[in-house]
Amino acid sequence: MEAAKKELAYLQGLITRKDDMGGDNDDARYMTMEDGTMSMEKEQLSQMASRQITYIDHLEKAIMRIESKTYGICRVTGKLIDKARLRAVPHATLSLEAKLGLVKPPTE
């Protein structure tokens, strides 16, 4: 969790530095190739930061499931999620079978 938060802070710092380097001239006539590249890099960093925020949210929810003793239980089948899957995706809430759609969710 700490590593994910550090990565997010790093990405946000890069975005801020890109903003600071942008300058005050917003006139499109003066936009150079470098400005376009910088804009594209900033967009990529923003997407990475957004994914990192989502990942941290998933980890926090996994911690809540650990505390409520529901971690590792598939929310579709109610069975235990394979340990190898949890090692690969620590925030998984579905067994591999449920994720692949091999198991139909119970109907009410």
Cβ atoms of 97 and 77 closer than 8 Å: yes
Could you tell me the residue ranges of all domains in the chain?
2-68, 72-108
pLDDT digits (tens, 9 = 90+) for 49-85: 999 999 999 999 999 999 999 999 999 999 999 999 9
Q: How far apart (Å, rounded) are the C-alpha atoms in residues 75 and 51?
A: 23
Per the DSSP assignment, residues forming a β-bridge with 80 are 73
More confident residue, 83 or 4: 83
pLDDT score, position 23: 52
Quote the pLDDT of residue 108.
60
pLDDT at residue 32, as a whole number: 61
Q: What is the pLDDT, as a whole number, of residue 15?
A: 78
Residue 27, token pair as written in the block? 């006139």
Q: Which of 14, 66, 41, 69 is nearest to 91 (CA)?
A: 66
Segment (H or E) for 19: helix 2-21
